[in-house]
Structure formats: structure tokens, C-alpha cells
Structure 1
Amino acid sequence: MALALGAEPIDEPPYDPLHEYRTDTRSDDEKAFAKRIDRMATLVVRHFGGQFRGATITPTTFLNWLWELELWVPDGMAEAVERFDRNPVDWKARAEKAEQSRDQLASRVSELEAAIADGTGKSSGATRERESLLKLIIGMATGGYGYDPMAARSPIPADIATDLQTHGVSLSEDTIRKYLREGAELLPQQDE
């Protein structure tokens, strides 16, 4: 209400509408302001009734009521109300939601840690993709070039390097041999 009367509540002396405003300790300006507050409080209580006592009137509702009565509204009040009159944040609900999220994440971390410890964790997408490429390489080398993963030294990496070179791709024999070895590790183990 003090804002609607053009006063900054912080700058004004504390005012209690039930306090006697005719006391000698107040200046004439303070007494006049107290009278205006009392009149405004009377209008508010008449219009809003018990809601006012429970402080459930939103700033927007109060501002609209001032406009309906064609009462003076201080400059900047409408903009301030529009900017700051938001639904209150339910901090308790937000805290409970954050706790649930934390508990779910903690549970997931425990599951992943257990999976890693057991060796049952799924490999990442990049790891699966790399393994798929290695399987493709070893499959083409064994099926297309006759590569024997059990051989101590094989001429196949040189053949693959030559074939790649004819297509404009440069790859060393050592690099090819390295990937053939890695791919061979993914082949099913055969009993000897």
C-alpha cells in the first residue's frame, strides 16, 4: 500500500496501522502519511475483505484494483509489478525433486560401478563401433586375402598395403599388421 501512495516503505518509518498515528513523536508529514495509509487500508479491507488480512492479494490484483477505482498509480509501479509479480517458487517441491534426482543418479552410479567390477558393463558406442570395424577388417583379410591369424609372419599385410596404394590410400604394413592383430583377438577362439 505504501508504494501505491508514492512512498518507499524502506525510507518511511515503520508504520503499524493499529498504532495511534496522532502521537506527538511523529512529524506532521508522518501523521499525514499515516492517515493516507489508514484510508487506503480501509478501502482495501472493504474491497478484498479477509483476503487482505491473510496477505493473499497479488501485486497485479492490487494494481488492477487501483486502476478500476481510478486511483493514482505511481510512475514505474506497473512495470515493477509486471517484472516481479511471478508465481512463488515452491522450494520444498524443488528440493524434493532434486533429492529424488540425486538418489536416482546415485543408484545408477552404483549399478555402473557394479557392472564395471563384474565386467558386465556395456561398452560405449565408440568402443562398439571400433570393434565392428576391426571385425570387418579381420573378416575381409581372412576371407578375401586368406590371412591366417595364427601365422608368425604373413605376406598379407604387404598385399593389402599394395592394393590400398593402387586406390590412392597410403597405409604402412606395420599399421595394417597392428589392426589385423587387434581384429584377430575378436575372432572366436578355436580349440586346438
Structure 2
Amino acid sequence: MATTLSGTKALEWLLQRWHHCDPYEYLIQRKFPDYNAVRYAPISLFDIGGSAYDDREKRLKEVKSFRAELKAKPLKEIETLYDEEQERERQEWAAEAEREERQRFFNQPEAKADFAHWSKVTYWTLDEAIALAFGRAPEAVKWENVKGYVTDSPFAKRYARVRDLALRAKNCKQLFDPTPPSLFLPWARRNEIDVAPELVKGVEARGVVIADWKDCYDKLNEQAKKLSEQQDELTANCTKLTAERDALKRQVEEAKSAATVHPIHESERDSLLRMVLGMAMTHYKYEPGAPRKAATGEKRGSIPLDLGRLGLTLDADTVRKFLKEAEDRFAEILANPRKH
């Protein structure tokens, strides 16, 4: 990952670029870092010794030769050299910024956290929790001694960002100060804040469940909602089936009553068989012509068992007989239902 400049270093680098708007002057100063010191003559000859004077004259000749060399190059080549040298200078500034960052107190070995200790404590202050999340020792790395580096240090800037999120979460009662690890770590995970793996491992080793309780609540709430919808659907189906059963019961009672009052005529028998066969096919999946028919069997959901539960006991053979009679009587209709 390329090192980037921040804060004061970035400003210094930009100022350097602004001062070197002349590409020839810029390239000369990059090749001869002491150019500004030798380009201007001393106020008097007494200000410079003999050997120093000779060195200055020699350097000025070198500068003059290099300038002539640059002036002889095509403008396109000068632009390329200028861009390459600027990038090289930027990398030098970035490397210097990275060296300074490594030397700061919060990046020293003694600033590393003792996870074996801090994973055992019952609670952390928010400042301790933030330092631990970065893998730093809360005893050494505190906001009071970090905030002065926010302008120049990438670490301090990240620390400030996480601290800002934590304080806002505290104001909204998502976090507390102090806060237990079981609350802070899930909050950090939910907000995509990197936490030192050693800290998470140490806390989990103590039997602490690191779970996002809000996320768990939302999932359980969604499951409860789905179960409620399924229950409503089952209740509606049960109500519908009960109504159909009651309708069938009334039809059977009416048919039974009609049969006891007067003999069934051929046309009435024909209508009754039509009705029985139609209900058997519609509600009991009776399939004419099938070798085995669940509708007339002894298992749950069959016509004989449903009639028995209603107190209208009728053996399976009788049911089969009437259905077979209806099936034979209306075989032509069943074979070509659209013609009738």
C-alpha cells in the first residue's frame, strides 16, 4: 500500500511544489541541494575563504553545465523528467512521514496492549476500549496524549474517528462509559471497526458471548412475524375446511332426510350420485379408474372416517359401491367432460 502524506507534511510538500513552478529550476535544485546556498555571491570577499570560494565556483560551473544540458532537451522530455522527479520527491516525503509515524510513542513496543490482562476485566472505559481495539495499551495510549498528533498521524486520525463514533453512540445509549466487552465489541463489528484479533480471542476465551444483540433481536422478531403469518394462514385454512365439512354434513343430512321421507326416483338417484361423485373427486381426490383410492380407504382423510366422526357411520365397501355405481353411470361424461 502506498504511503500517503497528511497534515503538516502534505502542506510542506505542496509548498515545495509551488516554489518550484519553473521546471528547470526545480530539476537543478533537486540535483544540487546546495544550489540556493551557492547561487548568490557573498557580500564581501572576507565572508568566504579561498578553498570555499573555489568550491563555490566549481559548483556554479556544474550547475551552469547541467542547465545547458536541460535547455538542450526537448520540452516533452523536460516535462517527463519534471513529473518523474516530483513523484520521486513525493515518495521521499512519504517515506519520511512513515519514519516519523513509526517513531511516535503509540507505535513503540511498550505501547502494545497486554491482552491477557485486559480480556479479563469486567468493563472498559470508552478510552480504554478504543485503545484496545487498536491493540494499544490503555495505560500509555490515551486521548489526551494522542489528540496532539491528529493533524500529522494516520493512527491518531483513525483513533479520533473511532472516538467520535463511540461518543455519538454513547449519547444515543448504544454504548455506555464504562462499557462491558460484550457490548463494545459487537458495536464495533456492526460499524465495521477493526478490532485487534487477540482482544476478541481473549474475551471469547473467558466465555463472553460476542453477539450483536440488536441484530439477534431483529432476526427473532422477523421469525416471530413469519410464524404469526403462518398461524393466520393455518387458521384460515382450518376455518375453510370446517365450513366445507359442515356443508357436507348438511348435504348428507338432507339427503338422508329425503331418503326416509319418500323413495328415491331414478332422476333423484342420478342427481345424488352426481353430487356424491363430484364431492368425492373435489374434496377427497377420488380418481375414477384408479386401482387404489385413498378416498375410500381406512386412513385419515377418507370418506368413511370423516362420516364416522360425524356420527354417520358407513362402511368402506358401501362407499365404494355407490361411488363405483356413479363412476359407471357417468363414465361417458367423465371421459369427455367438455362435451357435457
TM-score range, shorter chain: 0.3 to 0.5
The structure with more helix, counted as a fraction of residues: 2
Which structure's CA Rg is the greater one? 2
Higher relative contact order (CA 8 A, sep 6+): 1
Output the TM-score relative to the length of structure 1.
0.33
